Amino acid sequence: MTAVAHEPTTPAEGLLDIFLSLDTPEGFRAELIEGEIVVTPPPDGEHEKYISRIVRQVIKRSRIDMDFSGNKGLKLKSGGACPKNHVIPDVTFGALSLDLFGSADSWMPCDGVAMVLEVTSSKPEADRETKRRCYARAGIPAYLLVDRETGMVALFSEPENEDHLRRVRRSFGDPLSLPEPFAFELDTADFI
């Protein structure tokens, strides 16, 4: 760890300082989610397969040109006395015309993000619950979750406060309609 540049004045600020000074092993990623530091190991091949299938469809089939970033750090609002959430979605999508990623810092605000994608891995409950609340609180319009344990793909949209008003789940193999600006049926046939 590196030295803290200033003396933290609150426990939340102290936690944020500790988080920002972490030196995680290569390939691992650290996130600060609702006051908890979560370190995730590198993903396996199946995890990356789902991401690849979805990104290809989004790029080819969306109504507008979409840009994406894998493992882009987002600073999001937090609830209560916790410091800002520092979350790293598996994939972050935004309109290509906005150039969200070209001049972004390591941790960027979520303005202009159209959708985030997560594929469950070592901490599936964080993807199902905690991150879902974080993305809703931040006002990210769509959260796409591939849940490998349940064999389901879920779309959470219409964020309001701590959650999403609209939730649609489909079994692997069934298509899932993505909202504007994507506006196509996500094919999950090869997720089985």
Name the residue ranges covered by the structural domains of the chain.
43-191
27-75: per-residue pLDDT in tens? 999 999 988 999 999 999 999 999 999 999 999 999 999 999 998 999 9
Band of residue 12 on the pLDDT scale cut at 50, 70, 90: confident
In this prediction, residue 112 carries a pLDDT of: 94
In this prediction, residue 6 carries a pLDDT of: 53
In this prediction, residue 99 carries a pLDDT of: 87
In this prediction, residue 130 carries a pLDDT of: 92
In this prediction, residue 80 carries a pLDDT of: 66
CATH 3.90.1570.10 fits 43-191, yes or no: yes
76-108: per-residue pLDDT in tens? 977 666 668 899 999 999 998 888 998 889 999
- Residue predicted with more confidence, 30 or 8: 30
In this prediction, residue 14 carries a pLDDT of: 82
Residue 165 pLDDT exceeds 50: yes
Write out the chain in H/E/C secondary structure.
CCCCCCCCCCHHHHHHHHHHCCCCCCCCEEEEECCEEEEECCCCHHHHHHHHHHHHHHHHHCCCCEEEEECCEEEECCCCCCCCEEECCCEEEEEHHHCCCCCCCCEEECCCEEEEEEECCCCHHHHHHHHHHHHHHCCCCEEEEEECCCCEEEEEEEEECCEEEEEEEEECCCCEEECCCCCEEECCHHHC
What mean pLDDT do residues 149-175 have?
Answer: 97
In this prediction, residue 2 carries a pLDDT of: 44
101-147: per-residue pLDDT in tens? 988 899 999 999 999 999 998 889 999 999 999 999 999 999 999 99
170 within 8 A of 152, measured Cβ to Cβ: yes
